[in-house]
Amino acid sequence: MHQLHFHSRNMNQTSNRRLKAGGGNPLDTAARRAYLRAHRIWDEPSWEKVSREAEEWMCGALTQKGYRSISLVFFDHSVDEYAWEMYLARFKFEDPYERCWPWKIEPEAKNMAGGICHFYKNWREHKGMMVDGPHVQAPTIDPMVAYAFNSA
């Protein structure tokens, strides 16, 4: 793994301070991601790598809990939060709050108002797993899968 330096293209020249909550709507994926990119240290290839890892991790975690589908808003928010933690864990910040997720608001996993997450749906289909239809009002949770996972 290459070392990132705190200067040149990795330094966001518009900010030398850690992010504070309040920038952008945390439930709006585009606004949230633009806000995260404003962090003083940014490296797009590293972010893309941890985002892909976070998507895979999230799909596995949801499958273990028995979810056949999930809200797009919940999935994207959860992936971004996990990717943020992995991304910033690479840096040795003296301030322990530097790595904190800047928002306290969390979307509801079962609130499908923003639609179904097609990334998760496609991931499950690719693995031959059952999926919910595109207009589902609430995600289906397979009780046997969730029970097996929770009783282990």
- Mean pLDDT, the chain, as a whole number? 79
For residue 125, name the pLDDT band (cuts at 50, 70, 90): very high
Q: Of 25-29, 39-43, 54-58, give the range with the top mean pLDDT.
A: 54-58
The answer to whether position 55 is within a domain reads yes
Per-residue pLDDT at 54: 97
Per-residue pLDDT at 151: 56
Q: What is the DSSP string of the chain?
A: -PPP-SSGGGB-TT--S---TTSS-TT-HHHHHHHHHTSSB--HHHHHHHHHHHHHHHHHHHHHTTBS--BHHHHHHHHHHHHHHHHHHTS--SSTTTTS-S------TT--TT-B-HHHHHHHHHTT-----TT-SS--B-HHHHHHHHH-
Per-residue pLDDT at 134: 79
Phi, psi of 137, deg, nearest 5: -85, -25
Per-residue pLDDT at 1: 33
pLDDT tens digit sequence for 55-96 = 999 999 999 999 999 999 999 999 999 999 888 888 777 776
Q: Which residues pair with 67 in a beta bridge?
A: 141
Confidence (pTM): 0.76
The answer to whether position 136 is within a domain reads yes
Q: Domains in the chain: how many in total?
A: 1
The answer to whether position 12 is within a domain reads no
- What is the domain extent for residue 75? 44-151
Per-residue pLDDT at 12: 32
The answer to whether position 28 is within a domain reads no
pLDDT at 37 over 50: yes
The answer to whether position 24 is within a domain reads no
State the Cα torsion 34-36-42-43 to the nearest 10°.
Answer: -80
Q: Are 117 and 72 within 8 A, CB to CB?
A: yes
The answer to whether position 35 is within a domain reads no
The answer to whether position 68 is within a domain reads yes
pLDDT at 102 over 50: yes
The answer to whether position 102 is within a domain reads yes
